[in-house]
Amino acid sequence: MQQIIIQLSGGIGLFLLGMSLMTDSLKAMAGESLRQWLGRFTGSPFKAMMSGIGFTLVVQSSTATTLATIGFVSAGVLSFTQAIGVIIGANIGTTSTGWMVALLGLKFSVSMIALPMVGIGAMMKLLGQDRMALLGLCLAGFGLLFIGIDFLQSAMAGFAEQVDLAQWSNDGLMTRLILVLIGIVMTILLQSSSAAITATLAALAGGAIDLPQALALVIGQNIGTVATAVLAAIGATVSAKRTAAVHVVFNVVTAVAAFFVLMPVTIWQVRDGVLADWDNVLIIALFHTAFSMMGAMIFMPFTRRFQALLERLIPERIDASNTHYLDESLFSMPAVAIGAAKEALCRTAADTFHQFTKACRGEMAGQQIDTLPLDDCLIKVDDYLQKMPVPQSQTDQERLMALLQLVVYIRVIREDLANSAFIDVLRGDFDENLAAAMVQFEALTAYLNAMPKRLPPEFVTQFVAFGDDMKAQKIDVRLSIIEHSAHTQHSASDALNLIVARRWLDRLVKHTAKMVILLGK
C-alpha cells in the first residue's frame, strides 16, 4: 500500500508540474496577444463564450482562464458583460483535458514518446532563447503530464486490487452526495480540476471505482474549481468579485442540474441505451463536456438578467483613481500586468497634463495643479512592481524595462510640476511658446487617454521637434526678455523671474519629450 501511495502522489505531482509548465509557457508565449484577442473577440455573449473556449484550449487550464478574466476585468480590458461569456466558455474548454487523457493518456502507452519530449524540451529551454525556450518548457510540460498519467494509471490499478470500494457504489442519494464532496475536496487540494479529473479517469480505467462513482466525483471536481476564483477575488475590484461570482453560480447551478438530471440519464443510457457499448473513460469525458454545454444552454439566454442580478447583489463602489487597474491576479499574465501598470501611469499623467493645459488657458492658477494623484499612482505602481515576478519571456522583460523607464520619466516630470506656479508668470507676461506647449500637451493628453499601443510616429516627431525648437531659441528668448523688460521699465527681478520660468518650461518639455519617445517605440 505504501508503494501505491508513493506512486499515486508522484503521478499527481508530475501531472501538476507538467500542467503548470505547459500553461505558464503558453501564457508567456501568447502574452499581449491574449489581451488583444479577448478585447477584440468578445463583442457579443456568444463571441465571448467562444473566446473563453479558445483561450482555455490554448492555455489548457480553466483556472488560468478564470484568473486571467478576473484580472482583465480589474484592469478594464474586459467589461463584466464580456466576462460572463468568457467564464462560461472556459468551463466548456476545460473539458478538452478529459478528452486528451481519455483518448491518448489512458489508451496508449505514451511513456516512450513522453520521455524524449521531456529531454528535447529541456534542451530547447537550456539552449534556446525567448519563444524557443518557452516552447521547450511547453514540450517538457506536455511530456511530464503524460508520464504523470502513466504513474497514476499504475497506482490506481494497484489500489483497485487492495481496496474494496463496493460500499460506495450503491445508488443512494447520501452516497452520491459524499462522492460529490470528495470531488470538491480533491480539486481544492490539488488546485486543479484537470488533475482531479485525470486521477478519477485513471481510477476508473484501473478498476478502483465504477462509472456512477466517477460521475459523482467529476461533478464535485467541477464545483471545487471555484475555490481559486473566490480566493483571487478577495480584495479585488467589484467587477472582479462579480466575475468570480459568475464562476461560482454557473458551476454550482450546472452541477445541481447534472446531479439530478444528466447523471441519471447517463447511467440509464449506459445500462439500456446508446452508451451501452462505449468505454467508461470516454463516457466520463463525454459527460463532462455535456454538462458544461448544458450549463451554457441554461445561462446564455439569460446573460443580461444574470448580469443585472449580480450587479444588484454586488453594488459598485466608485473609485475615481486610475490605480484600480493594478490587480495582483494579473501576475500570471506578465504582459497584461505590465500593460495595467502602464495604463494606470498614462491615464494619471493625462489627468495631470489636462490640468496643465487648463492653467495655460488661464482657467486655473498654475499653483493649483494637483499632483497628489500622480504621487499616489507612482507609490502604488512601485509597490505593484515590487510584488511582480520577473517574466520568463524576453519580450515581456523588455516591456518591463520600458515600464521602469516610464516610471523614471514621470517622476522627473512630477518634480518639474512642483514649480507649476511659473505658468502664471509666463501667462502674465509674454511667451508664445506657452501657447504652443499647451497645444502639444492637449494632443498628448488625448493620446494617453485613448491608450494606443504606441504613440503615432508623426506625433512623436512633432513633439520632439517642438522641444528642439525651444532649445534652439533659448539664447534669443533671454535677450528678448531683457530687451522687453528694459523698454517696459520692468525691474531686473521680474526679468530674472521670467527667464527662470522660461527655463522651467524648457525642462518640462524636454523631459516630457523623453516620455513621448519611449511611448512611441
Confidence of residue 475 (pLDDT cuts 50, 70, 90): low
> Of 93-107, 113-127, 162-176, 365-379, which one has max mean pLDDT?
365-379
DSSP structural state of residue 388: S
Q: Report the C-alpha gap between 230 and 248 in whole angstroms.
A: 8
Residue with the larger pLDDT of the pair 169 and 500: 500
| Spatial CA neighbour of 381 closest among 417, 414, 420, 419 | 414
- Which residues, other chains included, contact 478 with Cβ-Cβ below 8 Å and sequence gap of 6+? 499, 502
H-helix or E-strand spanning residue 317? none
Q: Is the pLDDT of residue 208 over 90?
A: no
Q: What is the pLDDT of residue 38?
A: 60
Average pLDDT, integer, range 375-380: 92
Residue with the larger pLDDT of the pair 116 and 55: 116
Q: What is the pLDDT of residue 51?
A: 82
Q: Is the pLDDT of residue 487 over 60?
A: no
Q: Is the pLDDT of residue 459 over 90?
A: yes
| Spatial CA neighbour of 203 closest among 168, 165, 160, 166 | 160
Instruction: Delineate the domains of the chain, giving CATH numbers in brackets.
Output: 1-313 (no CATH), 328-520 (1.20.58)
Average pLDDT, integer, range 166-174: 65
Using an 8 Å Cβ cutoff, are 190 and 12 in contact? yes
Tell me how crowded residue 494 is: count the other CB atoms within 10 A of its CB: 15
Average pLDDT, integer, range 309-318: 77
Calculate the average pLDDT of the chain. Answer: 80
Confidence of residue 236 (pLDDT cuts 50, 70, 90): low
Using an 8 Å Cβ cutoff, are 456 and 469 in contact? no
Q: Is the pLDDT of residue 165 over 60?
A: no
Q: What is the pLDDT of residue 190?
A: 72
Q: Is the pLDDT of residue 407 over 70?
A: yes
| Spatial CA neighbour of 325 closest among 312, 338, 310, 307 | 338
> Of 22-36, 224-238, 388-402, which one has max mean pLDDT?
388-402
Model pTM greater than 0.85? Answer: no
How do residues 188-197 score in pLDDT, each as one tens digit? 777 677 778 8
Q: Which residue has the cell 501576475?
A: 331
Q: What is the pLDDT of residue 311?
A: 82
DSSP structural state of residue 31: T
- Determine which of 166-170, 236-240, 255-259 has the lowest per-residue pLDDT on average: 166-170
